[in-house]
Chains A and B, each alone.
Chain A
């Protein structure tokens, strides 16, 4: 927690989401265009359909280097769908995803994606360390075993998620929260520019939550882009630079204080009683 607070910088001027159809009465934060070097990842008029049902409708979003963005919205809002489309594993029906200014049609090693639920076979004969090393294996020569440096990086990543003492344990013998952290370690070993995490805070205890917040803070300070979906509004407000409110369409995006207005929350979550966090001056 403490290192996260220390590293906190105001970044009002850098947040940038440029929606192309601003609903009347719903506040959008529209900033001046950013140089593309600061925008590793961008979604342009992104739409995803499943059959004839639309899950995402014309979403525009830009994600800067060194920022933490949380995606909020009700169940079925399209948060997971947006993250998968950004990761390049779900082809959009319309629009495109751009990485460093270039359209991406295939998954890229610069983008690290951590799914909502890992559908892995928990009985698979791999240890926690093996799982972390998977983050490196595909990028190393197939003619040689992984080197000592890769092992050190993997152990280091396990240390950072507090799992080093469990490195030799078979993956199925961990608790749910520990399994989640093992996959997070693998994501760290992948060392991408952009981290897309689907509900990383779901089902973890308070110390782990704090550990994750600290971890994301350090990644952000190292210039990475972190985008995560969440249902914990207070947590998102407290520890992200920007919030995107999603409900099939992009409802609003911007710094927490300016985005979490009553009108926006109502537009995103419908009639549910959610206390707005933004001050009245913000809307």
Chain B
């Protein structure tokens, strides 16, 4: 079977299937200055929500809003102190229905 008959969905469509009750406080922050020294950049590959983006100056652009709160990023992170990680305020963040 060729993949044309089963087209892969875009990442935006994929993420738009998930409900996020976004809180105004960022529950995860990334210190882009520390990332500038990082050679592995595992977060970019591994974050299932694809929230880590390389910037032109070698840092990281991060937005917490569409986050699964899974913990992958702090576990694979290479540099002490680059990621400050906490859960969102109660009642906020990702909400699953059919998983």
Do chains A and B interact in one complex?
A: no
